[in-house]
C-alpha cells in the first residue's frame, strides 16, 4: 500500500475509533435528557433537541456532498489515467491491473474520509460539549 493510502487508512481508523467513543456518550446524554424531560420540556431541552436534529441534517448533508464531489474527482482522475495508458497517443504500455487497483483503493479511502469528516467533527465536538453540561 502506498504511503498516502496508508496515512489515509490510519487517519480513518483513528477517526472511526474516536467516533465509536463519542457517539455512545452523546446518545447516552441525550436519551437521559429526554427521559428526564418527560412530556414537559424546558426551553433548554427544547433548544438542545432542535439543535440535535439540525446538526445531524447538516453533518450528513455535508458528508454526502463531500463524498459526491470526491467520487467525481476520483472518477475523472481514473478515467484520465486509463485514457493515457490505453489511448493511441500512449507509449503503448498499458497500466498494470495492480496499479489501477491501488488507484481505486486510494480513491475509495478518499471518498470515505470526505464522508466521515463532518460526522466525526460534529460528534466529537458534541461529546466534549455535552460532557461539560449538567442534565438538570
- The pLDDT of 60-89, averaged and rounded, is 87
Of residues 5 and 42, more confidence is placed in 42
Q: pLDDT tens, 19-57?
A: 999 999 999 999 999 899 888 889 999 999 999 999 999
Average pLDDT, the chain: 88
Kindly report the pTM of this predicted structure.
0.78
- pLDDT of 80: 86
- pLDDT of 58: 96
Exposure string (b/e) for 7-23, b if CB count within 10 Å is 16 or more? ebbeebeebeeebeebb
Rounded Cα gap, residues 19 and 108, in angstroms:
20
- pLDDT of 69: 97
Task: List all residues 6 or more positions away from 67 whose beta carbon is below 8 Å from its beta carbon.
Answer: 111, 112, 114, 115
Of residues 100 and 28, more confidence is placed in 28
Amino acid at each position: 500500500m502506498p504511503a498516502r493510502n496508508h496515512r489515509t487508512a490510519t487517519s480513518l481508523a483513528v477517526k472511526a475509533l474516536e467516533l465509536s467513543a463519542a457517539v455512545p456518550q452523546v446518545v447516552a446524554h441525550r436519551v437521559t435528557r429526554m427521559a428526564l424531560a418527560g412530556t414537559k420540556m424546558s426551553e433548554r431541552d427544547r433548544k438542545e433537541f432542535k439543535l440535535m436534529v439540525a446538526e445531524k441534517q447538516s453533518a450528513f448533508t455535508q458528508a454526502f456532498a463531500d463524498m459526491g464531489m470526491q467520487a467525481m474527482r476520483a472518477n475523472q482522475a481514473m478515467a484520465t489515467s486509463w485514457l493515457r495508458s490505453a489511448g493511441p497517443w500512449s507509449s503503448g504500455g498499458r497500466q498494470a491491473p495492480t496499479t489501477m487497483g491501488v488507484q481505486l483503493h486510494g480513491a475509495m479511502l478518499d471518498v470515505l474520509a470526505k464522508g466521515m469528516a463532518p460526522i466525526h467533527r460534529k460528534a466529537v465536538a458534541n461529546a466534549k460539549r455535552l460532557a461539560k453540561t449538567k442534565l438538570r
